[in-house]
Amino acid sequence: MNDSLTVNLGPRSYPIQFGTDLTGEVRAQVAALATEGRRVAVITDANVVRAQGGGLGAMFGGSPTLALAAGEETKSLAGLGQALDFLAAQRLGRNDVLFAVGGGVIGDLGGFAAASYLRGLAFYQVPTTLLAMVDSSVGGKTGINLKAGKNLVGAFHQPRGVFIATGLLGTLPPREFAAGCAEVIKTGLLGDAELFTRLERASLTVRSGDLAAVVRRCCALKARVVEADEFETAKEGGRALLNLGHTFGHAIEQATGYGEYLHGEAVAVGLAAAARLSHRLGLLATGEIARIEAVLAAHALPVRLRAPLPLASLMAAMARDKKVRAGRLRFVVLKALGEAVTRDDVDPALAEACFREVGAV
CATH of the domain at 70: 3.40.50.1970
Can 222 be counted among the known catalytic residues?
yes
Is there a single domain that holds both residue 72 and residue 193? no
Catalytic one among 246, 276, 279, 280? 246
Q: Is 90 exceeded by the pLDDT of residue 111?
A: yes
| Parent domain of 208 | 174-357
Is there a single domain that holds both residue 241 and residue 330? yes
Is there a single domain that holds both residue 13 and residue 132? yes
Q: Where among 117, 145, 171 does a domain terminate? A: 171
Over the stretch 59-80, which tens digit does the pLDDT of each residue have?
A: 999 999 999 999 999 999 999 9
Give the whole-number percent of the chain exceeding pLDDT 90.
Answer: 95
Is there a single domain that holds both residue 184 and residue 167? no
Q: Is 90 exceeded by the pLDDT of residue 323?
A: no
The total of other beta-carbon atoms located within 10 Å of residue 147's CB is 10
State the DSSP code for 126: E
pLDDT for position 272: 98
Q: Structure pTM? A: 0.97
Is there a single domain that holds both residue 130 and residue 227? no
* CA–CA separation, 204 and 193 (whole Å): 16
* CA–CA separation, 183 and 8 (whole Å): 22
pLDDT band at 325 (very low <50, low <70, confident <90, very high): confident
CATH number of the domain where residue 243 is located:
1.20.1090.10
Catalytic one among 151, 186, 243, 279? 243
* CA–CA separation, 19 and 227 (whole Å): 23
Is there a single domain that holds both residue 120 and residue 187? no
Over the stretch 216-254, which tens digit does the pLDDT of each residue have?
A: 999 999 999 999 999 999 999 999 999 999 999 999 999
Helix (H) or strand (E) holding 87: helix 77-89
Catalytic one among 157, 239, 279, 280? 239
Q: How many domains does the chain have?
A: 2
Catalytic one among 2, 175, 224, 236? 236
* Nearest partner of 126 among 29, 269, 241, 253, judged by Cα: 29
Note whether 323 and 243 are within 8 A (CB): yes
Catalytic one among 216, 222, 299, 323? 222
Catalytic one among 150, 157, 198, 263? 263
Is there a single domain that holds both residue 101 and residue 246? no
Over the stretch 161-199, which tens digit does the pLDDT of each residue have?
A: 999 999 999 999 999 999 999 999 999 999 999 999 999
Q: Is 90 exceeded by the pLDDT of residue 329?
A: no
Amino acid at 316: A
Q: Across all residues in the chain, what is the average pLDDT?
A: 96
Q: Where among 129, 154, 171 does a domain terminate? A: 171
7-24 core/surface letters (b: 16 or more CB in 10 A; e: else): beeeeeebebbbbeebbe
Collapsing DSSP to helix, strand or coil, 328 comes out as: strand
Is there a single domain that holds both residue 166 and residue 25? yes
Can 246 be counted among the known catalytic residues?
yes
In the chain, what is the straight-line distance between the N-terminal and C-terminal CA atoms, in Å?
Answer: 51
Can 227 be counted among the known catalytic residues?
no
pLDDT for position 1: 63
Over the stretch 14-62, which tens digit does the pLDDT of each residue have?
A: 999 999 999 999 999 999 999 999 999 999 999 999 999 999 999 999 9
Is there a single domain that holds both residue 119 and residue 262? no
The answer for residues whose C-beta is within 8 angstroms of residue 135's C-beta and 6 or more apart is 104, 183, 186, 187, 218, 222, 242
The answer for residues whose C-beta is within 8 angstroms of residue 80's C-beta and 6 or more apart is 109, 112, 113, 116, 144
pLDDT for position 81: 98
Can 299 be counted among the known catalytic residues?
no
Phi and psi based region of residue 76 (left: phi greater than 0; alpha: psi -120 to 50; beta: remaining): beta
* CA–CA separation, 120 and 158 (whole Å): 11
pLDDT for position 8: 98
Is there a single domain that holds both residue 80 and residue 144? yes
Is there a single domain that holds both residue 275 and residue 334? yes
Question: CB burial class (10 A; 0-12, 13-18, 19+) of residue 93?
Answer: exposed
Note whether 183 and 35 are within 8 A (CB): no
Residue range 258-269: mean pLDDT, rounded: 96
Note whether 38 and 97 are within 8 A (CB): yes
Can 239 be counted among the known catalytic residues?
yes
The total of other beta-carbon atoms located within 10 Å of residue 220's CB is 16
- Angle at alpha carbon of residue 348, lines to 342 and 350, rounded to 5°: 80
Catalytic one among 217, 250, 279, 280? 250
Can 141 be counted among the known catalytic residues?
yes
Is there a single domain that holds both residue 84 and residue 121? yes
Longest dimension (CA), the chain: 60
Q: Where among 171, 200, 230 does a domain terminate? A: 171
Can 183 be counted among the known catalytic residues?
yes
* CA–CA separation, 93 and 236 (whole Å): 40
Can 306 be counted among the known catalytic residues?
no
**Residues listed for the chain:** 361
Residue range 154-166: mean pLDDT, rounded: 98
